[in-house]
Each structure stands twice: as structure tokens, then as C-alpha cells.
Amino acid sequence: MKKRILSMLMVSLLLVVFGTAMAEDADKAAADAVAAMIDAIYVQEWTAETDAQIEAARAGWDALTDAQKALVEGEDADPDYFLRDTGDAALDDPLNQDGIGEKELLVVSFGTSFNDSRAADISAIEKALAAAFPEWSVRRAFTAQIIINHVQARDGEKIDNVQQALERAKVNGVKNLVIQPTHLMHGAEYDELIETLEAYRDSFETVEVAEPLLGKVGADASVINADKEAVAKAVTAAAVADAGFESLEAAAKHTAFVFMGHGTSHTAKVSYSQMQSQMAKLGYENVFIGTVEGEPEETACENVIEAVKAAGYTSVVLRPLMVVAGDHANNDMAGEDEDSWRSMFTASGACDTIDCQIAGLGRIPEVQALYVAHTAAVIEK
């Protein structure tokens, strides 16, 4: 009798173990299926299938249990793709309306999936331009399809890419088109914008493209201009104020300000060196320019750390030299991973305190005014 009871217990236990394993396999299969769908929309080239893929990925995610969502992992996919809270997307206007009229001002940005920054930085520039040129219809386009897809999948907000925005303008009968890039410089994203635009130039009576934020690139690190000076003054003043100092001179006793740009292998990378030259010309000895990509070489984090250390500063304030305070600012600069700038400065022992300011250039009124001036230069010529 005892043997029979023991056998029955063993069978029951095996059934439970087998059932659990089956359930775990099913959970993993469901999570993997959604991970594959997220990976599929992690693209920078829009296709006729993209919108349907985005809709399927969102529906697949919503159908998962909380336990299954935690298992989502792919080449690019992870639970944060849908779960990370970056603010209220409803506070942002994608500016993709029809009924444009004959005069359109298309504001082209790289973009960001961080909702708070999109509203505070990109939208702030768009609103400043709309206020300055009320007779022009302001519309938006992003150059980063990966961001467009993310925002559409997670938040249901549809932002035009450049081709879609130009097609919208064409269909709406726009005659006079002005494009204001919010890009920092004449880099790869700017080049791609111009390339896309070429196929549409004949669709409008007039087409003008305004300067990006830092203006003309120039031949070498010594070449600076009024645009770079204005940006240098604006971002430094904002950082000093946000750090609680009355002036840069008051901070200079012990605090260094490090402005982190993206960096690029494009020839326009000299713009970062020029910004460092501009800081020096202004007498901002405690201001350093760095880049995530470490191009130019002197802007790599380890080189900036050595420069700060050699200058003897005991505190550092990190702030993005980017239009938006998005993924790079939150992760590469201020993140908790060991390769973030905050972590690398901490590990170096170079400074006693490291503070991070999560604020893009777009929210600074003086920067908005510079974009307005660039737009005015092509509208009024």
C-alpha cells in the first residue's frame, strides 16, 4: 500500500514538474515572438510594411502577461522598449496636420523617444519658430526612423520622416518651402536630409534650407563664428545657473563643466574642436567639450577626464551638448552602467562630486532665438 501511495505521489510530482516546464516554455515562446517583432521594427528605413509591423508588435506586447513581458529579450528588444517611462507623450504635438497652406516651415530634427525632452526641447524650438513666423505653417519631420517607430509603437504618436513630410507638403499644395534643421552641424544627418530633399525640389516654387545650429563648419579647429559663440555662451550660462552658481568665475575655483556631444566620423567632427576653441577664446577655462563617440579623439571620455584632472578641478558638472536630452543624456552620460560618463568619472577618482544636468539645448531661449535668426536669414533674403 505504501509503495502504491509513493508511486502515485511520484507521478503527481512529475506531472507538476512537466506542467511547469511546459508553462515556462510557453511563456518563453510568447516573449520571444514579441521580441522578434520589436527587433523587426528596430529599423531606420521605412517600408510599406512598417506601420503594420508596429501595430502587430504593440498588440503582441499587450497580449503578454507581466511575467512574459519580463522575459522579452532580443537583439535590440527588451521590456524597456514599451515599459520605460519617459513622460507624457500627450504633451507633444507631432505637427503632422494637413491643411498646410502655400507656405510651410518644416522643422527637421534627429528626434528622441524621450517624451519629456521632445516636448521641452524640440517642441520648444518649433513653437518659437511658429511665434516668429505666424504666416508660415510649421510642421515636423524626424530623420531617425528608429525613433519614429519607437514613439509610434509605445505611445501611438505618428511622426513623419523627411520623405513623408515632403510628400505631405507636395500633396497639400505647398508652394514655398523653408526647412530649418535642428541638427547641431552639417553632419551625416544633414547630408541625408539634403539628399532626400533633392527628389522633391521641383515639387515647390521655392525651397530654402536654413543653417543648422552651429552654422558653417570651417576648415580646422581654429575656425569659429558667431553661431558657435552664441551657443557656447548660452549653454554655459544655463549650466552655471542650474548648478547654483552666480557666475562661471565663481564656479571656476573648483568646478569643471563638461558638455557631452554625440561625436561623428563625418568631416564635420571638427565642429566639436571648434567649440572647445570657442570656449577658450571666451576665457572659459573650466569648460570642456566631450563626445559619446570619442570623435574627435580628444573628446573621448577618458581624455576629457585626464584634462579635468590635470587642471585640478575637484567637482564636475556633466551636461549634453545636444538639442535633446534623450537616450545619450540619460544613459551614456548619467546612467548607472560602468561605461556611462558619470560612472567613468566616479571610477577615475578625478572629482569628489559629479553632477548631471539632464537638459537639451532646445529648451534654452537663446538657442531658440538662434534658430529663429537662421530661419529669418533665408525667409527674408
Identify whether the C-beta of residue 102 lies closer than 8 Å to the C-beta of residue 68: no
- Mean pLDDT over residues 28-42, rounded? 93
Residues 65 and 110 in one domain: no
The predicted pLDDT at position 2 comes to: 52
Tally of domains within the chain: 3
Structural domain contains residue 321: yes
Structural domain contains residue 337: yes
Q: How confident is the model at residue 44 (pLDDT cuts 50, 70, 90)?
A: confident
Residues 211 and 255 in one domain: no
Residues 247 and 204 in one domain: no
Structural domain contains residue 220: no
Assess whether 254 carries a catalytic annotation.
no
- The residue ranking higher by pLDDT, 8 or 373, is 373
| pLDDT cut 70: percent of the chain above it | 94
Q: What is the pLDDT of residues 245-275, one digit of tens each?
A: 999 999 888 999 999 999 999 999 999 999 9
**Reported pTM:** 0.92
Statement: residue 239 has pLDDT above 50: yes
Domain boundary among 83, 115, 135: 83
Instruction: For CA atoms 79, 85, 86, 89, give the dihedral sign.
Output: positive
Q: How confident is the model at residue 18 (pLDDT cuts 50, 70, 90)?
A: very low
CATH of the domain at 241: 3.40.50.1400
- Mean pLDDT over residues 137-156, rounded? 97
The predicted pLDDT at position 45 comes to: 84
Q: How confident is the model at residue 22 (pLDDT cuts 50, 70, 90)?
A: low
Residues 54 and 176 in one domain: no
Residues 239 and 179 in one domain: no
The predicted pLDDT at position 4 comes to: 55
Please tell me the total number of residues recorded for the chain in this structure: 381
Residues 232 and 355 in one domain: yes
- Mean pLDDT over residues 203-215, rounded? 97
The predicted pLDDT at position 161 comes to: 97
- Mean pLDDT over residues 332-352, rounded? 93
d(CA 74, CA 149): 17
Domain boundary among 34, 53, 83: 83
Strand-pairing partners, residue 161, are: 142
Identify whether the C-beta of residue 157 lies closer than 8 Å to the C-beta of residue 112: no
d(CA 50, CA 56): 10
Residues 266 and 199 in one domain: no
Residues 133 and 205 in one domain: yes
The CA angle 227-231-235, to the nearest 5 degrees, is: 175
Identify whether the C-beta of residue 144 lies closer than 8 Å to the C-beta of residue 114: no
Q: How confident is the model at residue 23 (pLDDT cuts 50, 70, 90)?
A: low
Q: How far is CA 276 from CA 68, 280, 368, in A?
A: 48, 6, 22
The identity of residue 334, as a single letter, is: A
Identify whether the C-beta of residue 60 lies closer than 8 Å to the C-beta of residue 37: yes
Closest CA to 190 of 46, 374, 328: 374
The predicted pLDDT at position 13 comes to: 45
Q: What is the pLDDT of residues 70-105, one digit of tens each?
A: 999 999 999 999 999 999 999 999 999 999 999 999
The predicted pLDDT at position 119 comes to: 96
- Mean pLDDT over residues 323-335, rounded? 94
Q: What is the pLDDT of residues 278-306, one digit of tens each?
A: 999 999 999 999 999 999 999 999 999 99
Q: How confident is the model at residue 6 (pLDDT cuts 50, 70, 90)?
A: very low
Strand order in the sheet with 315-320: 287-291, 255-261, 315-320, 353-356
Ranking 206-210, 232-236, 250-254, 373-377 by mean pLDDT, the lowest is: 250-254
Residues 62 and 154 in one domain: no
Q: How confident is the model at residue 20 (pLDDT cuts 50, 70, 90)?
A: low
Catalytic position from the list 150, 183, 186, 262: 262
Residues 136 and 241 in one domain: no
Structural domain contains residue 135: yes
C-alpha cell at 353: 562630486
Mean pLDDT in the chain?
92
Residues 168 and 40 in one domain: no
Residues 261 and 323 in one domain: yes
Structural domain contains residue 155: yes
- Mean pLDDT over residues 30-40, rounded? 93
d(CA 267, CA 264): 8
Statement: residue 3 has pLDDT above 80: no
Q: How confident is the model at residue 17 (pLDDT cuts 50, 70, 90)?
A: very low
Q: Which domain holds residue 303?
A: 226-362
The predicted pLDDT at position 54 comes to: 95
